[in-house]
Every structure is written in C-alpha cells, then in structure tokens.
Amino acid sequence: IFSTIPTAPPDAILGLTTQFRADRDPRKVNLGVGAYRTSDNQPYVLPVVRRVEEQLASDQSTTHEYLPQDGLKSFCDASARLILGPNSPAIADARTTTVQALSGTGALRVGLTFVARFISPNTNVYVPKQTWSNHRNVVPASGLPPTVDYRYLDSATGQVDIEALVQDLEAAPPRSVILLHGCAHNPTGADPTKEQWMQILDVVKRRNLLPFFDNAYQGFASGSLETDAWSVRAFVDAGLDMLVAQSYAKNMGMYGERVGALTVVASEKGAEDAIRSQLKAIIRAMYSSPPKHGALIVATILEDEKLFKEWEGELTKMSGRINDMRVKLKAALEKIGTPGTWDHITGQIGMFSYTGLTSQQVAFMREKYHVYMTSNGRISMAGLTDDTVQYVADAMKDAVVS
Ligand code: LMR
C-alpha cells in the first residue's frame, strides 16, 4: 500500500536545521531558521517566561483538562488587545472573534480553511513575491488554489515597490485574500512606510479585498509592541473585514509550544456567534482543541502589568542584540573590502537580513564554510555572535568574489 509513495522534498527552512545538525564541522554556523540565540549562540528562555512557568508548575490548581476548541479565553482576549489595541473600536463593538491557534502557521491554516469554506474554495490568496516559504504550503493545504504573487520589493533600492504592489492589488478580483506581513517582513526586512500602508489600505478597501495579516514579529521590528501593531490597527480603524494571525514564537520565545491566535474582525456586528461556531468546528476536525501550557504562560504575562513590562524589556534586549549584529556584520564586510554595498544590512528591520546573495553563493558558503542560510540569501541575524561574525563576513566575501 505504501510502496509507491514518493519522498517529499525537505522544507526550505526546517530542512536546513536538519542538515545543520548532521554537519560535523566545528566551524558550522546556522543562519537558517528564524529563532533567537543569545550572544553565546544558545536558545533563550525569557526569564519572565521561566518564572511564570515555575509558578504554574507548583500551582496545585493547574490541571491538564481539555481546553475548549477555541482555546483559553483569557489568552484570546489578551491577544486581541495586544494586536488591536486596548481601545480598539472593533473590540468595544464586539466585532472580533479570537481563537487560540497552533502558533502563526496554525492561525493561518484555520483562517484560510475558514475562507475556503465560507467565502469560496476558489478564492485567490495574494502573497508578496518575496514571502515566508510556508505561505505557499499552507494556502493550498487549506483547500484554496496555489498562491498568486503580488510584486513587493524593488531590488534596486531594497525598499517596497509600492507602485508595482498597488498595481497588482488593483488587478486582484474582489474578495481575494491579500496576505500582508504586519511588520518585519520575512524575508526582506523591508516594511511599507505609514504612507505606503495607507495606499495599500485604499486599494484593499476600494476593491473589496480581504486582508489577512500575518504578525509573527510584533515587538521585533521596532522593539515596540505598539509601533509594530500600527498597520493592523490602521486597517481595523478603516472598518474592514479582515483576519489577523498572531504568533508568540519569536516575541516570547515560545517556539516549540506553538502559541498563537487567529482573530476575525468583522466590519459589521452580528456574525460573531456564527463565526466562532464555524472556527470551532474547523478546529475540532483538525486537532480538537489547542494545548494549554504555553497559552497559560502567555496569558499570565499579558494580564499582569509588571510581568508585561518585564517582557517589553526583554524584547528591547533581543531586538537590540540583533541590531548590534547588523552593525557588526556590515562593518566586517566593509573592512575586508567585500565588493558591493552593504547598507541594506543595517537598513532592514526584524529578525532577518536579505543579503542579496544568490542561491549559488548560498550553496558555496554552505559547502565550503558550513554556513547555513535559506537559498534566497536570507540570514537570521540572531544566529550571529561576536565569535562568528568575522568568519561569516569572510565567507560572504569569498562567495561574492568567487
Ligand atoms: C522562519 O521564517 O525561519 C521562521 O518563521 C520559522 C519557520 O517556521 O519557518
């Protein structure tokens, strides 16, 4: 029965981690997956997360009972406030429906299944031409046609090509889903300016398109949770129907706990009960209900003013270290006279740098130097340390001149 099953290709990002782990070379450096590392290149458990976790473990009233399909209510409410703002008109009007999800991917998967079921299975999902590789997996897996690209980056300037972007959205049929990275665009590190967001908002509204925000990096772009939620809030304030995916993988370091949320914002009141019931039905058939542990930790931090402040301090620290590495990598490349300009490394924001290296140069660095990054030339800045930045710069120079 199973003998004819073909082998699937390795995942463009997670496959790199597998390859990296199998590599025996002591010089190896992993700049593939977007996961924060300390200055000693170690995974980081935020101290505030560790403390809350310890509290919960010793709390005798914590049980392992099932959550309902839509997850932990306190977590969902706090997540909606975090992304939409505590004074969001949509929350005040009870036009929002938030369900817990298995991190960002799970939120996208549930949300897109909802679109396939209740908008149309033929709905086109437009994604930026440069996007997180898994978007292209999740969309068809949710019962929708393969993704359609909209142009995003002007490779000459490294900025968003807003004219091309708007032109492509103008051509999208009404009710198409437009996937938008709320902040810290992955992989390019180039976000629209506020003015450009308003241009995108204008075409989305005029053409009756359905925005789906993917927010995997709130707090990681500017270091401020508020600033990084600006784009989402601008769209909500404009009274649009929209979907919002959130992840606590990066900003709370909860990678393996799969903690996220999906919020459906309706332009008009009245459909919340129906929306919630359908999301619950989708979740029940997929995995019944989400896990509790991570959501409890996150909810505890979001609901406590003191813990929240401490978390904000952690975010500043993590994004600060990433920026420090940007400065050091650029300086190292320039010092050794690497051909090309490297200003974009410090100009980009978020967890990644979109270096401009070609897939051949990426392969060269992996083979000769055991430096791992995605084939589109994206490097996870958090994977660099003071000890490896010169080695990586040397490898990049060699790749560029070879
Ligand atoms: C990434 O882009 O590296 C992260 O979002 C991790 C992942 O799941 O791909």
Nearest CA to ligand 1 atom 5: 34
Please check whether residue 55 lies inside any domain of the structure. Answer: no
Q: Report how far residue 329's alpha carbon sits from residue 321's, in angstroms, rounded to the nearest whole number.
A: 12
**Could you tell me the pLDDT band of residue 13, with boundaries at 50, 70 and 90?**
very high
Q: How far apart are the CA of 255 and the centre of ligand 1, in A?
A: 10
C-alpha span between 21 and 148 (Å, rounded)? 34
User: Is 292 marked active-site?
Assistant: no
Distance in Å, CA 379 to ligand 1 centroid: 11
Q: Which helix (H) or strand (E) holds 126?
A: strand 125-128
Please indicate, yes or no, if residue 30 is contained in any of the structural domains: yes
Distance CA 399, CA 97 (A): 49
What is the predicted pLDDT for the residue at 222?
87
pTM reported for the whole predicted model: 0.96
With beta carbons less than 8 A apart as the criterion, state whether 15 and 373 touch.
Answer: no
Out of 18, 33, 185, give the residue to mutate to test ligand 1, the one with the largest number of ligand atoms within 8 Å of its CB. 33
- Same domain? For 269 and 340 the reply is no
Do 110 and 136 lie in one domain? The reply is yes
How far apart are alpha carbons 192 and 201 in whole angstroms? 11
Do 86 and 151 lie in one domain? The reply is yes
Residue (of 318, 256, 297) closest to 51 by Cα position: 297
Please indicate whether residue 132 is annotated as part of the active site: yes
In total, how many domains does the chain have? 2
Task: Tell me 368's DSSP state.
Answer: I
Residues 268 and 356 in one domain: no
| pLDDT in the model for residue 73 | 98
Do residue 297 and residue 324 come from a single domain? no
Question: Is the CB of 132 inside a 6 Å radius of any atom of ligand 1?
Answer: yes
The answer to whether residue 331 sits within a structural domain is yes
159 located within any domain: yes
User: Residue 341 domain-assigned?
Assistant: yes
Residue 211 neighbours by CB under 8 Å, 6+ apart? 177, 178, 180, 204, 235, 240, 242, 243
User: Please, is 78 exposed, middle or buried when counting C-beta atoms within 10 Å of its C-beta (0-12, 13-18, 19+)?
Assistant: buried
- In the block, tokens 């660095």 appear at 365
Measured between alpha carbons, how far is 234 from 300 in angstroms, rounded to an integer?
Answer: 28
Is 336 within the bounds of a domain?
yes
Residues 6+ apart with CB under 8 A from 160: 152, 153, 154, 190, 191, 192, 193, 196
**Domain-terminating residue out of 243, 269, 303:** 303
Confidence band of 223 (pLDDT split at 50, 70, 90): confident
Query: Which atom of ligand 1 lies at the shortest distance from residue 13's CA?
Result: 9
Per the domain annotation, does 1 fall within a domain?
no
Last residue of a domain, one of 279, 303, 327: 303
Q: Which of 214, 228, 241, 292 is catalytic?
A: 214
C-alpha–C-alpha distance, residues 139 and 126, integer Å: 10
Q: Which of 268, 303, 338 is the last residue of a domain?
A: 303
Report CA(25)–ligand 1 centroid distance (Å): 24
Would you say the CB of residue 34 lies under 6 angstroms from ligand 1? yes
Q: Domain range for residue 341?
A: 14-45+318-401
Helix (H, G, I), strand (E, B) or coil at 334: helix
Gap from CA of 380 to ligand 1 centroid (Å) = 10
Cβ of 134 less than 6 Å from ligand 1: yes
- Of all residues in the chain, the percent with pLDDT exceeding 70 is 100
Pairing relationship of beta strands 148-150 and 153-154 according to DSSP bridges:
unpaired
Q: Tell which one of 18, 36, 134 to mutate to probe ligand 1, the residue whose CB is within 8 A of the most ligand atoms.
A: 134
| Whether residue 21 is found in the same domain as residue 106 | no
pLDDT surpassing 90 at residue 62: no
Average pLDDT value for residue range 224-251? 97
292 and 397 assigned to the same domain: no
Region 36-64 average pLDDT: 94
Beta bridge partner(s), residue 100: 261
**Checking DSSP bridges between strand 378-380 and strand 96-102, what pairing results, if any?**
unpaired
Burial class of 66 by CB neighbour count within 10 A (0 to 12, 13 to 18, 19+): exposed
Q: What are phi and psi of 380, to 5 degrees?
A: -85, 110
Q: What is the DSSP letter of 70?
A: T
Which ipTM score applies to this complex?
0.95
23 to 28, 36, 43: CA distances (angstroms): 7, 20, 19
Separation CA 152–CA 110 (nearest Å):
25
Residue 43 CA to ligand 1 centre (angstroms): 15
Q: Given a cut of 90, is residue 238 above it in pLDDT?
A: yes
Fill in the DSSP letter of residue 125. Answer: E
Is the domain of 193 the same as that of 238?
Answer: yes
Report the DSSP pairing between strands 29-30 and 371-372.
parallel
Q: Both 189 and 136 in a single domain? A: yes
275 plus 357 within the same structural domain: no
What CATH number is attached to the domain comprising 396?
Answer: 3.90.1150.10
Kindly report the protein residue whose alpha carbon is nearest to atom 1 of ligand 1: 34
Report the distance separating Cα 18 and Cα 13, nearest Å. Answer: 9
| 230 part of the active site | no
Cβ 13 under 6 angstroms from ligand 1: yes
Counting from 1 in the atom list of ligand 1, the atom nearest the Cα of 33 is 3
Helix (H, G, I), strand (E, B) or coil at 261: strand
Is 328 a residue whose pLDDT tops 90?
yes
Pocket of ligand 1 contains residue 215 by CB under 6 Å: no
Q: Is residue 3 part of a domain?
A: no
- If asked whether residues 22 and 91 sit together in one domain, one would say no
Return the CATH number at 168: 3.40.640.10
Is the pLDDT at 108 greater than 90? The verdict is: yes
Q: CB of 289 within 8 A of CB of 106?
A: no
Q: Find residue 125's DSSP bridge partners.
A: 177
Q: 34: CA distance to ligand 1 center in Å?
A: 5
State pLDDT tens for residues 168-195: 999 999 999 999 999 999 999 999 999 9
Tokens of 298: 């996150």
> CA 277 to CA 257: how far, in whole Å?
25
Q: Is the CB of 260 under 6 A from ligand 1?
A: no
Residues 156 and 234 in one domain: yes
Mean pLDDT, to the nearest integer, of 83-97?
96
Nearest CA to ligand 1 atom 2: 34
With the most atoms of ligand 1 within 8 angstroms of its CB, the residue from 132, 218, 353, 380 to mutate is 132
Query: What is the distance in A from the centroid of ligand 1 to the CA of 22?
Result: 19
Two structure tokens written together for 148? 């359609």
From 230, 250, 330, 342, active-site residue: 250
150 lines ligand 1 (CB under 6 A): no
- CA of residue 216 to ligand 1 center, whole Å: 9
Phi-psi region of 401 (alpha: psi -120 to 50; beta: other; left: phi over 0): alpha
